[in-house]
Chain A
Amino acid sequence: MIEMALVVGLLAITLRTASPLLLASLGETIAERGGILNLGIEGAMLIGAFSGFLGAYFTGSLVVGFITAIIGGILTVLLFGILVIKVNLDQVVSGLAINLLATGLSLYFFRIAFSQGNFPYLGQLIDPMPIPGLSGIPIIGDILFNQTIFVYIGLLSVPLIYWILFKTSFGLRLRSIGEDPFVASYLGINVERTRFISLIVEGIFVGMAGGLLTISMFNTFDTRIVAARGFVAVSIVILGRWNPWGALTGSLLFGFTQALSLWIGTFLVGPAAPSISQLLSLLPYVVTLLALVVGGRKVRGPASLGSPFAKE
């Protein structure tokens, strides 16, 4: 029975560590389906994490933190959207610029808000919310129904986004823009508006993904808190073939290897333990890379992903 408890624990942690990746990759899936490659997702997550932390810290309310995280995410992605859609700058360059800007801004305001050497933390965190009735189910209940709001939102959004992308007219139009924005505009589709809508949705998801790091996971803020999760999300989108179900699979794969390496780490003893556990923490990245090599070949993404669009 001990083994069972262990597996359940491992899977529950998998979902928890996967949740920021799931939310971020769902948002990125929507943006990329419309042909926009947002590498600024890393920065948008950072701003989400920072604004969520500030909101929660200064009002003492986690709900406010949740909302400010989303607002921070939306604003950052919208700024990126203005650069690439309105000013027509290169998507990759703009994304990287957003990342630099986000690091700079959050560091600057963090220093202003909190004196140096002072490590602020939140009094409370968004904790798991067991779902009455369901959380009692053996095994499944502990894995699925005793999680934070972020996990629930992520899991419920998978079918929702699938439905939007593949079963609504909006989704069809968005995908056509991702294939060929010029053709879409000839067909009378409003490329700019549709893309902005998709970016706002991405902003909501990325804001949540960032916010959960501060207000549900780490309890504090640091400019390195995102730790490349945004970039991992971008590769999960490819691994998941631009499909929300694929994003779920990819996030779980990453989350699971991360949970696994943490768990193995607890057994390590002796002087070499810290360096080995450092090495182990690379495992999820290595696995993602391998999965990309194996599963990411020959996949066809949106045909015009990342390419510029300007009307005469």
Chain B
Amino acid sequence: MPLPFIFSTGIEEGLSKQASFSGGSEIDHLSDYALYVRGISKTFSNGVVANNDVTFGIIKGEVHALLGENGAGKTTLMKILSGCLKPDRGEIYVNGVKTRISDPRKAVQLGIGMVHQHFTLIPTFTVAENIALVSSSSRKLELKAVEDKVRHVSKSLNFEINPNTRIEELPVGARQKVEILRLLCQDVSILILDEPTSVLTPLEVEDFFRIIRQLKNDGKSVIIITHKVKEALSISDRITIMRGGKTILTIPSSQTNASELASYVVEGFIPNLKRVPTARGEPTLSVKGLFIKGDRGEMAVKGLDLSVHSGEIVGLAGVTGNGQKELVEALTGLRKVEGGSISLKTCDLANKPPNFVINSGISYIPEDRMRRGVILGMTISENLALKRIDKEPYSKKMLIDKEALDKSAKELISIFGIKASDPCATAGSLSGGNIQKLIVARELTNAPNIVIAEQPTAGLDVKASEAVHQKLLDLKSKGAAILLISADLDEIMKLSDRVLIVFGGKIVGEFSSDSLDMEKLSKLMLGSE
């Protein structure tokens, strides 16, 4: 039977649910869906309505992209489908059969598996151990059998991995693939991927999509959440948009385009980045002949030179694992410098403690936001004030002024559009993108001298990304020196005045924004020039 290509769930178009869902043809119709839900609602204990009467379906063998603003309820819906959260109301049909998904184990039995927005791999375990955690049913740990399975499945995906590597030694791109590998070792047929690409470089994304296409050819159904409309268009068959806890529209990818999608995601969104021409000033951050050791004692940064002037954004492009992490940690006082110098104007910063770095006016947006950016158990207003908690207006005579904290938190929440029920809610209750907004809000206020921004828009929706970009440009025009490290080359090219390419712990090339040669840049990034 022909499938309706567009089903809309009311709200926007005024169409009510498909007529075919009542009456005799219902069973027929539902069985075309690998997964179909309706009327799903979820209210969290703090009163936030994350899902409100959601209807959503995924056809067997399709790749379905789910888009929506930060806090729209995408993750919540997917957690319900994978058994990690219980819905308050609603019906779930798997292959046309009504079911209850009581826990993640049940979901896997039904063939549904999920890759979460934040990694769910145990960093100190090996690849095989992480996979055995879910796939081994015997009492005795049959690691050998798991290793064989890992080799087998990874080979079929054209993706080489040593099952005995510990996760913490792998770059993020490989970790993401291990997550998928784990689902496939559990023989699931419906894969839910929550923002799997947000920190991957374009090459890694391409490789990742190759795997997804292959899964589709093998008959699997895939739901993928992303904030990048271009990615959604290139990988998916159909796209569903969520807004305010509801699905508002489902549309075939072939019948829409990037700007239309962006305006569905954020009602009426039109890109509008304002650039003020800024003269480049004096060098603010200078790094000379820097040597830094990596985690395993090897030299990760080998004589790196770099300078960022005031009124300038310098983009650092490179494949992860070429010393970026160590460089940033040294700049922020988190890692020891073995040789060379780091200076802010004339002040020496090498091997100074983090609070010295912070007090010199250096802001830092970390890549690992969950561990470096926020304290999940503390409130939003505390997290926002944390770096300046001992200063006016947050503290007076060593006492914290709770009112000042909440007042400034309220301001920042509205300026940066953080979707929060209340400044006293814990940071852990925010959606992934809103945690990122919180960090950005803290780091980009108070007129920093230098901003070190690592993946500043990872996980942000189009509107929030643009707000961050605008804020970075504004800071630049006010004379800040900005070092931008991002896996997203588009972002680097959009914002940077100069692009530096890092490879093997050194800067191997430099472009100014008006003379960018993409081909040469990619080659430099791979070290083949």
Contacts and interface: CB of A to CB of B under 8 A. Distances in A.
B141 A169 contact: yes
B132 A172 contact: yes
Contacts of B107: 188
A179 interface: yes
Contact of A169 (B85, B108, B116, B139): B139
Contacts of A303: 123-124
A26 B134 CA distance: 27
A179 B122 contact: yes
B132 A312 contact: no
A298 interface: no
B426 to A, nearest CB: 11
B136 interface: yes
A186 B139 contact: no
Contacts of A170: 139
A183 B134 contact: no
Given A167-B141, A176-B125, A186 B120 contact: yes
Nearest to B116: A186
A40 B122 CA distance: 28
28 contacts: A166-B141, A167-B141, A168-B139, A169-B137, A169-B138, A172-B125, A172-B132, A172-B141, A176-B133, A179-B122, A179-B123, A179-B124, A180-B122, A183-B121, A184-B133, A185-B104, A186-B104, A186-B114, A187-B120, A187-B133, A188-B103, A188-B105, A188-B107, A188-B108, A188-B134, A312-B44, A312-B45, A312-B85
Interface string B92-124: 000000000001110110000010100011111
A29 B434 CA distance: 39
A284 interface: no
B83 A188 contact: yes
A175 B125 CA distance: 9
A82 interface: no
Nearest to B119: A183
B129 interface: yes
Contacts of B296: none
B494 interface: no
A297 interface: no
Interface in A151-179: 166-173, 175-176, 179
A169 B116 CA distance: 23
Interface size on B, as a range, is 20 to 34
Contacts of A168: 139-141
B493 interface: no
Given A180-B122, A312-B45, A171 B141 contact: yes
Q: Is chain B's interface secondary structure helix, strand, loop, or mixed overall?
A: loop
Contacts of A167: 140-141
B45 A169 contact: no
Most B-side CB within 10 Å, residue of A173, A180, A188: A188
A300 interface: yes
Interface string B133-149: 11011111100000000
Contacts of B161: none
B104 A187 contact: yes
B84 interface: yes
B430 to A, nearest CB: 13
Contacts of A8: none
B376 to A, nearest CB: 10
Contacts of B133: 172-173, 176, 184, 187, 189
A188 B112 CA distance: 12
A188 B104 contact: yes
A312 B85 CA distance: 7
Nearest to B182: A187
A297 B147 CA distance: 33
Contacts of B141: 166-169, 171-172
Contacts of A176: 122, 125, 133
A197 B131 CA distance: 23
Nearest to B104: A188
A184 B125 CA distance: 13
Contacts of A186: 84, 104, 114, 116, 120
Contacts of B140: 167-169
A188 B114 CA distance: 11
The 3 closest A-B pairs by CB, nearest first: A188-B104, A188-B105, A183-B120
